[in-house]
């Protein structure tokens, strides 16, 4: 009876600040990884002088490729293994199937990852420009829940 709330039929959805914090942490991880890879590719050493050449297309191509690759690994592969990306692990949120609360499948995670780009490109700027109260949405039959409300 002590954990009656924790064993309810429908797990508790995380608050909007918790969801946003998880998304920001995940975005920062991907962006930082891309910038580090790009900076490493743009370094040229000649005669003991280190020079950064950010104007090279190869630098920006590598930075973009690494950022997308890290994002995919974080949002799809890590979530497939642990039910959560790095940001979600830090904020105590998990991703489950909306229908039954089970583990998410690979193709649905890929769809959710792609939907995140769509959401970021279309709705985030619209939300910021209009100061609306649009909240982040769950997609492709997956939803986010608080970790402590998942049944074993």
Place of tokens 């649905």: 108
C-alpha 122 chain-centroid distance? 17
The whole-number mean pLDDT for each consecutive block of 10 residues of the chain, a chain of 152 residues, reads: 47 84 94 92 80 82 95 97 94 92 94 89 80 73 83 53
Give the per-residue pLDDT at 135: 66
Identify whether the C-beta of residue 42 lies closer than 8 Å to the C-beta of residue 53. Answer: yes
Query: What's the pLDDT at 136?
Result: 66
Q: Are the C-beta atoms of residues 116 and 30 closer than 8 Å to each other?
A: no
Q: How far is CA 72 from CA 61, 75, 110, in A?
A: 16, 5, 8
pLDDT of residue 10: 64
pTM of the model: 0.80
pLDDT confidence of residue 108: 95
């Amino acid at each position: 009876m002590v954990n009656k709330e924790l064993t309810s039929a429908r797990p508790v959805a995380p608050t909007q600040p918790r969801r946003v914090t998880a998304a920001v942490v995940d975005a920062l991880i991907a962006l930082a990884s891309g910038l580090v890879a790009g900076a490493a590719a743009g370094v040229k050493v000649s005669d003991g002088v280190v020079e950064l050449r950010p104007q090279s297309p190869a630098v920006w191509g590598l930075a973009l490729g690494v950022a997308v690759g890290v994002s995919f690994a974080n949002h799809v592969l890590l979530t497939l293994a642990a039910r959560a990306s790095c940001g979600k692990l830090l904020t105590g949120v998990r991703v489950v199937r909306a229908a039954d609360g089970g583990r998410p499948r690979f193709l649905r995670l890929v769809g959710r990852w792609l939907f995140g780009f769509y959401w970021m490109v279309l709705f985030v700027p619209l939300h910021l420009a209009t100061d609306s109260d649009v909240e982040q949405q769950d997609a492709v039959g997956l939803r986010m829940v608080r970790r402590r409300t998942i049944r074993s």
